[in-house]
A = this chain, B = another copy of it.
């Protein structure tokens, strides 16, 4: 685990007051924690932009009664082999399912996986959530 270091930040008086009020509202207990979060968000954005290894979650919503849809979704995931960490299935209602696919790999590959799932006929909604392996942000 990396050790904590301390450094000084200069900020306009009025700006700091506004920031303090914003982070109190958001539930932070101190400035360092809030600034750490801003910094980590920037770093995770950069990991996705520069194509590093990331963790992404693809969420798809579909009707499992549609013929041949589930096998297609499963086949496609198998193309990505061990990059798929897990695939979780939620029954939204009698017809509709949510599948939450957690994958780890180069940012480009995860985007490709999401794009290919999205284009399958019968998938009603597909979204990609960008997270991190935690490497380089701790």
- Which residues does A use to contact B, with CB under 8 Å? 1-16, 18-19, 22, 26-29, 31-33, 35-44, 46, 55, 57, 59, 61, 63, 65, 85-86, 88, 90, 92-93, 95-96, 98, 100, 102, 115-116, 118-119, 121, 124-138
- A18 touching B137, Cβ below 8 Å: yes
Say whether A18 contacts B134, CB under 8 Å.
no
How many protomers of this protein does the assembly include? 4
Is the pair A132, B125 in contact by a Cβ cutoff of 8 Å? yes
B55 and A138 contact, CB distance less than 8 A: no
Would you give 22 A-B contacts (Cβ < 8 Å), ordered by A?
A1-B95, A2-B14, A4-B13, A6-B10, A6-B11, A7-B8, A7-B11, A9-B9, A9-B35, A15-B40, A19-B39, A27-B116, A33-B119, A55-B59, A55-B90, A63-B134, A86-B88, A88-B88, A95-B138, A100-B102, A127-B130, A128-B129
Contact A121 B12 (CB under 8 A): no
Max chain B Cβ within 10 angstroms of own Cβ: one of A3, A4, A9, A57? A9
A110 nearest CB across to chain B (Å): 13
- For A5, A61, A125, the residue with the greatest tally of chain B CB atoms inside 10 Å of its CB is A125
